[in-house]
């Protein structure tokens, strides 16, 4: 596996989850814009299954949906997001010891659900196992969930060979939809020592990024009446968009189906673009790497 490219020094994202009602549909959309997927199998609960877009740095995009015959409301992962076909659902950090990470969260005054045992069975019969814990109040996905592998990480994901020679590098940024950016920044700082966010250019009314970390906050505001406010009312606070990092923006525009560029980040902002499909517009895109 190639060495992971460090886009930041504070957090390294393990993977991000993109939810929907139908996994075959999600996979078809991803492949339409140039993202190859691999079926990863059903989760141990039997209520969801997933596919992987394995990125060159070892992180990945997880496409997740209910299994056939499962009511989304009964799904073991992100039932509200699945029911709403909401796309971005949760983001994950890889930790050496889930129990130790849970204790660290509790010591910092953060509510923890777990550790729990997680698993899925790949199509080749390989059983993948991990421990995981979720942090924060129920339905609040601002904090990442934490995973500690019990089986080799390569069982869970490997970079897709078709992407190794592509401009894609890895997961560059998670944009969190929040009611109050200051309150969310305090929570992220208390738990993960993220730096104070600063105002930034981006495709949201008010966007702030955490310098040196792959996290941005999109604030809807109490008086807002738009897509972000509707999302908060439907699925609560948490990821609303993901940006995958590219090391050559023009090459990425040639390789993948992308929409019009926009600025994202501090100052003038790096060039970014959404994948050119209605399911991904405003939810999944790319951003050029800036050192």
DSSP structure string for 245-288? EES-HHHHHHHS-B---EEEBSTT-EEEEEBSSTTTTTTEEEEE
Residues 176 and 65 in one domain: no
Cα–Cα distance between 234 and 169 in angstroms, integer?
Answer: 32
Last residue of a domain, one of 113, 134, 156: 156
Q: Answer yes or no: is 139 within a domain.
A: yes
Cα–Cα distance between 155 and 149 in angstroms, integer?
Answer: 9
Output the average pLDDT for the chain.
92
Residues 141 and 253 in one domain: no
Q: Answer yes or no: is 1 within a domain.
A: no
**For residues 197 and 209, is the Cβ–Cβ distance under 8 A?**
yes
Residues 197 and 216 in one domain: yes
pLDDT at 184 over 70: yes
Task: Report the CATH number at residue 254.
Answer: 3.10.180.10
Q: Answer yes or no: is 181 within a domain.
A: yes
Phi then psi dihedrals of residue 255, to 5 deg? -85, -35
Residue 125's CB is within 10 A of a number of other CB atoms, namely 7
User: What's the whole-model pTM score?
Assistant: 0.94
Last residue of a domain, one of 131, 156, 181: 156
Residues 170 and 100 in one domain: no
Preceding omega of 191 cis (within 30 degrees of 0): no
Q: Answer yes or no: is 213 within a domain.
A: yes
pLDDT value at residue 177:
96
What confidence tier does 11 reach under pLDDT thresholds 50, 70, 90?
confident
Q: Answer yes or no: is 2 within a domain.
A: no
Last residue of a domain, one of 101, 127, 156: 156
Instruction: Express each pLDDT in 93-144 by its tens digit.
Output: 999 999 999 999 999 999 999 999 999 999 999 999 999 999 988 878 999 9
| pLDDT (average), residues 71-85 | 94
Residues 148 and 173 in one domain: no
Residues 208 and 132 in one domain: no
pLDDT at 7 over 80: no
276, β-bridge pairs: none
Residues 183 and 126 in one domain: no
Q: Which domain holds residue 58?
A: 13-156
Number of independent structural domains in the chain: 2
Q: Answer yes or no: is 173 within a domain.
A: yes
Instruction: Express each pLDDT in 191-209 by its tens digit.
Output: 999 999 999 999 998 999 9
What confidence tier does 5 reach under pLDDT thresholds 50, 70, 90?
very low
């Amino acid at each position: 596996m190639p060495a992971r490219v460090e886009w930041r020094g504070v957090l390294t994202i393990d993977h991000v989850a993109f939810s929907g009602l139908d996994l075959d549909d999600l996979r078809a959309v991803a492949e339409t814009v140039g993202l190859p997927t691999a079926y990863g199998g059903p989760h141990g609960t039997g209520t969801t299954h997933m596919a992987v877009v394995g990125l060159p740095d070892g992180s990945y995009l997880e496409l997740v949906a209910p299994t056939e015959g499962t009511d989304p409301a009964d799904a073991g992962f992100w039932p509200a997001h699945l029911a709403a076909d909401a796309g971005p659902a949760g983001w994950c950090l890889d930790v050496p010891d889930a129990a130790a990470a849970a204790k660290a969260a509790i010591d910092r005054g953060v509510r923890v659900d777990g550790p729990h045992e997680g698993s899925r069975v790949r199509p080749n019969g390989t059983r993948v196992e991990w421990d995981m814990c979720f942090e924060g109040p129920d339905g609040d996905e601002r904090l990442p969930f934490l995973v500690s592998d019990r089986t080799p990480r390569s069982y869970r994901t490997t970079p897709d060979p078709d992407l190794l020679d592509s401009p894609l590098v890895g997961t560059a940024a998670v944009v969190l939809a929040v009611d109050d950016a200051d309150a969310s920044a305090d929570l992220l700082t208390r738990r993960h020592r993220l730096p104070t966010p600063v105002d930034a250019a981006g495709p949201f009314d008010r966007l702030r990024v955490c310098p040196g970390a792959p996290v941005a906050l999109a604030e809807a505001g109490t008086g807002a009446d738009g897509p972000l406010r509707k999302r908060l009312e439907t699925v609560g606070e948490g990821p609303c968009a993901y940006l995958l990092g590219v090391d050559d923006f023009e090459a990425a525009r040639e390789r993948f189906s992308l929409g019009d560029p926009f600025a994202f980040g501090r100052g003038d902002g790096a060039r970014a673009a959404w994948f050119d499909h209605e399911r991904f517009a405003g939810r999944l895109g790319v951003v050029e790497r800036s050192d």
